[in-house]
């Protein structure tokens, strides 16, 4: 199999399904053809687990005027596809009109494809096992404090095609690998964890993954109590800042939420959202990002969209329908994963491609050196994802933080609470770091220092 063969397969299935729809006298149809092959291998303290499989199927939307029906099928056989077409057609006949619907994509314009690495077709479980062995060998086996290790490696090749009766026939492909290490350190009854990961659209470096994870676990030993409750500056590492900001930006950039009056940033368009130093884009076209595709899942070309410019909210992210509802074009942000579901079993929604927070000028070490008293947050506190999306309030628990005194990390801290408000947090960014580390998440950010978080024991 080659990428050209893979692409041709997806396009041929989509084209055939469009022809089936015309044979069935279906007035308007959209065909979404998805295929993914992946291999995942993990090693949990010597126990090996392998998951190897293919996920493929077709999602079909049929329109009768503004009445929509949706159905899907697993696999690419002719009869199930025809059955899904008939089912979607039947559902459209009895569905109420959707006043926002403005038709399916009429053309086949594509952005540039992301990086594709043909070597990944030859990466199997044996190759992933060798990767895990290399990561494992980075762990000091003589250090008895390292009591538990969990390693993982993955490879994936996927693609999708979109065809419409209106004239679109387009496709996009992606490839990726990833590896991680998770380590538990124990000493005198105390437990500390550390992890590290690397991801790439091609073959990524394994250097330092296991070593970094073990060092992060060991540095958390020797925890001391944090006394009382204080409002202190907090310094968040790059990957942790990305995870922290994911929640408000995921809901706050939603074009569908804006149209449906449920977006917490709905009244902030073209107004001050954050400190003027904050600049944020949604980048769907950088060839190195795991999330980059030439088209979104409606067939619209991906693009780069400015979200925040000098602290001002400039745009939400739209698919075709919700962009049209406010007189704007799609920003190329149609996605079909739903709540972590299978793409071909979901209708499109508007979701970020890859949110990128622009870097500042200070390293993590520089930020720490400027703190008289504060907290270093190296991992995402537990429970922060349960923030109030309306008010922005959050309260979370951290077991992996460190006390900073007079510009120095002095010792790790036992369990503390970290509380605040996301809206206030964006206005209380003290420093934006220079060290944006790539992740597999829909957002990458440099490290940051925030004012005004409440820290309690």
Looking at residue 386, its pLDDT comes to: 84
CA–CA distances in Å: residue 381 to residues 280, 283, 309, 374, 437:
23, 27, 28, 16, 19
As annotated, the residues of the chain forming the CATH 3.30.2290.10 domain(s) are: 3-213
- 3 state SS of 325: helix
10-45 residue pLDDT tens? 999 999 999 999 999 999 999 999 999 999 999 999
How does 167-192 read in b/e, with b if 16+ C-beta sit within 10 Å? ebbbbbbbbbbbbbbbbbbeeeeeeb
Q: What mean pLDDT do residues 186-191 have?
A: 94
The structure tokens listed for 263 are 């977006």
Looking at residue 385, its pLDDT comes to: 84
Looking at residue 43, its pLDDT comes to: 97
Q: What mean pLDDT do residues 58-70 have?
A: 98
pLDDT at 232 over 80: yes
Mean pLDDT, all residues of the chain: 96
Q: What mean pLDDT do residues 40-59 have?
A: 96
Looking at residue 339, its pLDDT comes to: 55
pLDDT at 245 over 60: yes
pLDDT band at 445 (very low <50, low <70, confident <90, very high): very high
Residue pair 127/111 in contact by the 8 Å Cβ criterion: no
Q: What mean pLDDT do residues 447-453 have?
A: 97
384-401 residue pLDDT tens? 888 887 888 999 999 999
pLDDT at 338 over 70: no
How does 34-46 read in b/e, with b if 16+ C-beta sit within 10 Å? bbbbebbbbbeee
Query: Which of 3.30.2290.10, 3.40.718.10, 3.30.450.20, 2.40.400.10 is the CATH number of 3-213?
Result: 3.30.2290.10
Find the helix or strand (DSSP H, E) in which 424 lies.
helix 422-427
pTM, two decimals, is 0.94
pLDDT at 408 over 70: yes
pLDDT at 340 over 70: no
Q: Lowest-confidence range among 47-56, 302-311, 339-348?
A: 339-348
The structure tokens listed for 55 are 């996920």
How deeply is 339 buried, as exposed, middle or buried, from its count of CB atoms within 10 A (0-12, 13-18, 19+)? exposed
> What are residue 373's DSSP bridge partners?
405
Residue 18 zone, left/alpha/beta (φ > 0; ψ -120 to 50; rest): alpha
Looking at residue 219, its pLDDT comes to: 97
Looking at residue 390, its pLDDT comes to: 80
Place of tokens 């709905």: 266
């Amino acid at each position: 199999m080659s990428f050209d063969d893979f692409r041709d397969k997806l396009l041929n299935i989509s084209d055939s399904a469009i022809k089936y729809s015309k044979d069935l006298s279906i007035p308007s149809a959209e065909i979404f053809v998805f295929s993914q092959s992946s291999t995942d291998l993990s090693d949990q303290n010597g126990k090996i687990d392998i998951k190897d499989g293919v996920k493929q199927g077709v999602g079909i939307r049929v329109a009768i005027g503004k009445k929509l029906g949706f159905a899907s099928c697993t696999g690419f056989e002719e009869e199930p596809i025809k059955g899904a077409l008939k089912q979607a057609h039947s559902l459209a006949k009895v569905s109420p009109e959707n006043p926002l619907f403005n038709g399916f994509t009429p053309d086949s314009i594509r952005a540039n494809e992301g990086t594709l690495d043909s070597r990944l077709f030859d990466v199997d479980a044996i190759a992933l096992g060798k990767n895990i062995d290399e990561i494992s060998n980075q762990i000091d086996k003589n250090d008895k404090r390292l009591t538990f290790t969990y390693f993982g490696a993955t490879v994936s090749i996927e693609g999708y095609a979109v065809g419409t009766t209106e004239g679109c026939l387009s496709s996009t492909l992606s490839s990726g690998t990833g590896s991680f290490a998770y380590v538990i350190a124990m000493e005198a009854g105390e437990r500390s964890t550390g992890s590290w990961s690397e991801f790439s659209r091609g073959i990524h470096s394994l250097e330092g993954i296991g070593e970094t994870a073990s060092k992060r676990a060991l540095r958390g030993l020797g925890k001391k109590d944090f006394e009382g409750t204080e409002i202190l500056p907090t310094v968040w590492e790059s990957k942790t800042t990305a995870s922290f900001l994911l929640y408000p930006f995921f809901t706050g950039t939603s074009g569908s939420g804006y149209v449906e009056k449920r977006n917490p940033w709905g009244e902030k368009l073209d107004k001050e959202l954050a400190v003027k130093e904050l600049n944020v884009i949604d980048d769907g076209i950088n060839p190195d990002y795991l999330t980059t595709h030439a088209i979104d899942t409606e067939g619209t070309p991906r693009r780069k969209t400015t979200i925040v410019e000098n602290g001002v909210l400039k745009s939400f992210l739209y698919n075709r329908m919700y962009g049209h509802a406010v007189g704007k074009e799609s920003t190329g942000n149609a996605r079909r994963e739903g709540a972590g579901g299978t793409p071909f079993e979901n209708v499109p929604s508007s979701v970020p491609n890859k949110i990128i927070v622009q870097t500042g000028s200070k390293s993590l070490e520089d930020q720490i050196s400027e703190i008289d008293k504060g907290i270093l947050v190296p991992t995402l506190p537990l429970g922060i994802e349960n923030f109030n999306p309306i008010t922005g309030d959050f309260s979370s628990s951290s077991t992996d933080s460190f006390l900073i005194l007079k510009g120095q990390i002095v010792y790790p801290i036992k369990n503390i609470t970290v509380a605040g408000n996301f809206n206030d947090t964006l206005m209380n960014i003290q420093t934006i770091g220079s060290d944006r580390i790539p992740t597999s998440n829909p957002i990458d950010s440099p490290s940051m220092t925030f004012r005004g978080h409440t820290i309690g024991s």
